[in-house]
Amino acid sequence: MADTPQSLENKVALITGATSGIGEMLAVELARRGAHIVYTGLANSTQIDALNTKFASSSGPALFIPADLSAPGDATALVTTTEAKLGRVDILVNNAGVQHVEAVDSFPTDKWDLIMAVNLSAVFHATRAALPGMKSRGFGRIINIASAHGLVASPFKSAYVASKHGVVGFTKAVALEIAAEANLTCNAICPGYVKTPLVDGQIKDQAAAHNMTEDQVVSDIILAAQPNKRFVEAHELAALVALLSGDDGRSFNGAALSIDGGWTAR
Ligand code: NAD
């Protein structure tokens, strides 16, 4: 392995959901390694200006492409627009995700549809659109941010758990289809809890629902699942994504990589 961090110079990295939380950190790290960042997410123009500055790299200025990933055509258009503007997608990080916590017998059907569309179907549409170009150029990395909930379940998260198990299964199927290609891989990352706006929302909701303080929710509910009793740091995920993205990552294929402080080892 190289002594210095792998360079991703001149690679085009398309990252969904990079306007917040984990995706934002992934974009910062891939940009630091020289990748040309293309990203989407829900954000206003002031936020996008700030993110463009944050994600600029030696390969060029960052490019924001608006997309609502709950609409099937938008995930496909994200890839085709990137190819039209920058010539290719080398690294596709399917990271955008949404959550809703409620018992299955009262789970709102529109929330089910939204979670399936953003967390699972958009991964299919973007992957489907990106693979032909990756195959023709002989290089491609598809990295799907699943979850520990892609491997195990928790109550009241039926749609999220189903969507993330779907992402892990989809990842394995794609990996087998591309295994004979020269330098193409598809992997899933399964993080435990990372402190982002998505989790902050759950902490607030649980505190209200159980009449607990937010600190109690963190220690007694959220981190109860994680044996190391601390949140996963987004920069730890970013280091793993960077490894998978470069040449040192070429033998990972079809993996569901746990990074969860021991949660799924139980
Ligand atoms: P976040 O809420 O901070 O960020 C989610 C991102 O997805 C944002 O950029 C948002 O704008 C984007 N997004 C949401 N709906 C969208 C839509 N319809 N169209 C386009 N973009 C949309 O969440 P996060 O915690 O950073 O989560 C990122 C990913 O990591 C998700 O897939 C999540 O399931 C997964 N994950 C998170 C945790 C955690 O503890 N935070 C743990 C495991 C897995």
> Measured between alpha carbons, how far is 39 from 126 in angstroms, rounded to an integer?
13
> Cα dihedral angle (140, 257, 121, 21), rounded to 10 degrees?
-90
- The confidence score (pLDDT) of residue 146 equals 98
- In ligand 1, which atom is closest to the CA atom of 232? 40
Tokens for 264, please give them: 């799924």
> Measured between alpha carbons, how far is 26 from 32 in angstroms, rounded to an integer?
10
Residue 156, Ramachandran bin (φ over 0: left; ψ between -120 and 50: alpha; else beta): left
- Does the CB atom of residue 98 touch ligand 1 within 6 A? yes
CA nearest ligand 1 atom 2, residue:
198
What is the pLDDT tens value at each position of the chain, 266 positions in all? 445 678 999 999 999 999 999 999 999 999 999 999 999 999 999 999 999 999 999 999 999 999 999 998 999 999 999 999 999 999 999 999 999 999 999 999 999 999 999 999 999 999 999 999 999 999 999 999 999 999 999 999 999 999 999 999 999 999 999 999 889 999 999 999 999 998 999 899 889 988 999 999 999 999 998 999 999 999 999 999 999 999 999 999 999 999 999 999 99
Domains of the chain in start order, with CATH, are 12-193+233-265 (3.40.50.720), 195-231 (no CATH)
- Does the CB atom of residue 67 touch ligand 1 within 6 A? yes
Please give the radius of gyration of the chain, using alpha carbons only, rounded to the nearest integer.
18
Contact 143, 93 (CB under 8 A): yes
- The confidence score (pLDDT) of residue 4 equals 62
- The confidence score (pLDDT) of residue 2 equals 47
> Cα dihedral angle (179, 180, 185, 187), rounded to 10 degrees?
0
Ligand 1 centre to CA of 119 (Å) is 9
Ligand 1 centre to CA of 185 (Å) is 22
Ligand 1 centre to CA of 149 (Å) is 14
> Measured between alpha carbons, how far is 113 from 96 in angstroms, rounded to an integer?
15
- Does the CB atom of residue 218 touch ligand 1 within 6 A? no
> Measured between alpha carbons, how far is 15 from 30 in angstroms, rounded to an integer?
10
Whose structure tokens read 């706006």? 197
